[in-house]
Amino acid sequence: MADATPGSDARGFKSDPAERLGMYAVVGCNECAAMWLLTDPGASDSANCPRCGKTHRTAKLKRFFESDDRDAAREARAALLAKKHGDSAAFAEIEHVSELERAVDDAGIDDREYLEASGIDADAVSEAAARAEGGGSTSRSRTEILRDAVRAVDEPTEDAIVAHASERGVPADAARELLTKLTRRGELSESGGRYRVL
């Protein structure tokens, strides 16, 4: 089989996704795993993650879904997030979820691919963030303290976990934020107000 690609791209990209005509793209941040809707992804070279602020090269952002229909892209994002979180209740609220899932399947997306794409530096980022937030003077990071708190308390509700963690030096609001962050990242799961470590 001949290599039909003209030697224009020394970096070896198979094809240029920026040339596809999606007006709206659901993209993911490889730093914090946020997913957001990017309007007109072909129009600018860079895009900032709305959660962590990282500047991405638009062409390198992972695209989970593209459409010229903004509503379809929004619904796809919601479905992807629901799927990522294993949240069947959120799924049920989406009317055409089977359609969206098919579209997502057609696009070659799966959870593993997503997690691999988004999770590579998640731990390092989280540890660095914990240090930056002032956890550097303790031997254990806030993430570790919070994770231990989830395991340690009898009733792993948000209040109990936060109380446990704050007794060990994590300020309550930081603990709450971290709880949300770790859940969003799939390191913890929440069901009926109880958390557990995955």
Q: What are phi and psi of 189, to 5 degrees?
A: -125, 150
Question: How far is the CA of 112 from the CAs of 103, 115, 117, 118, 160, in angstroms?
Answer: 17, 5, 8, 10, 32
Q: In what order do the strands lie in the sheet with 24-28?
A: 35-39, 24-28, 62-67
**68 or 116: whose CB is closer to Zn ion?**
116
Binding region for Zn ion (CB under 5 A) out of 4-12, 47-55, 112-120, 131-139? 47-55
By CB under 5 A, residue 32 contacts Zn ion: yes
In the complex, least distance from residue 8 CB atom to Zn ion, rounded to whole angstroms: 31
By CB under 5 A, residue 29 contacts Zn ion: yes
Binding region for Zn ion (CB under 5 A) out of 14-22, 46-54, 119-127, 129-137? 46-54
**54 or 74: whose CB is closer to Zn ion?**
54
Question: How far is the CA of 85 from the CAs of 32, 121, 122, 161, 177, in angstroms?
Answer: 15, 19, 16, 20, 17
By CB under 5 A, residue 104 contacts Zn ion: no
Residue selected from 31, 75, 187, 190 as contacting Zn ion according to rule CB under 5 A: 31
Q: How many residues bind Zn ion (CB under 5 A)?
A: 8
Token duo for residue 61: 């952002």
Q: How far apart are CA 30 and CA 35, in angstroms?
A: 10
By CB under 5 A, residue 122 contacts Zn ion: no
Binding site for Zn ion (CB under 5 A): 29, 31-32, 34, 49, 51-52, 54
